[in-house]
């Protein structure tokens, strides 16, 4: 599935100075992981974010924002921002910073144990 490469490039610029950022194909688009945790991404032409429950509720009141619901069931803590909500670099950076701050607040992921043969 195609996604907005120009938006992905704008996110790359916003994240360029950060350490611990990796890209991963996910949800039919591209996601940007911070310290191994999904923070922000692009699906089709939407910005995709992972935010706290408090930020989630507040963000839904803003124009161009809706819950992430690609499975038909909204996912609390995950948002889509339509193109109109991140037209300016300042708007995009604010969204990215929100998502990165949340990802960094999450506990470190546990390393899976290898099974003995």
Res 94 pLDDT > 90: yes
**Total of domains in the chain:** 1
pTM: 0.87
The domain that holds 57 is classified in CATH as 3.90.1150.30
Cα–Cα dist 100/21, whole Å: 10
pLDDT digits (tens, 9 = 90+) for 17-61: 999 999 999 878 999 999 999 999 999 999 999 999 999 999 999
Q: Specify if 116 maps to a domain.
A: no
Range of the domain at 9: 5-105
Dmax (CA) for the chain in angstroms is 54
At what angle are helices 5-15 and 89-105 packed, to 10 degrees?
Answer: 60
- Compute the 3-state secondary structure of the chain and give helix, strand, coil in percent, each to the nearest 5: 30, 30, 40
114 domain residue, yes or no: no
């Amino acid at each position: 599935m195609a996604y907005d490469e120009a938006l992905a490039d704008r996110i790359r610029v916003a994240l360029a100075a950060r350490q611990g950022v990796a890209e991963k194909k996910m949800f039919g688009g591209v996601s940007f992981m911070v310290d191994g945790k999904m923070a922000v991404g692009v699906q089709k032409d939407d910005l995709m974010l992972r935010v706290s429950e408090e930020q989630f509720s507040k963000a839904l009141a803003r124009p161009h924002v809706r819950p992430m619901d690609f499975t038909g069931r909204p996912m609390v803590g995950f948002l889509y921002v339509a193109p109109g909500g991140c037209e300016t670099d300042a708007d995009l950076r604010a969204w990215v910073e929100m998502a990165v701050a949340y990802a960094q607040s999450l506990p470190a992921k546990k390393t899976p144990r290898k099974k003995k043969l």
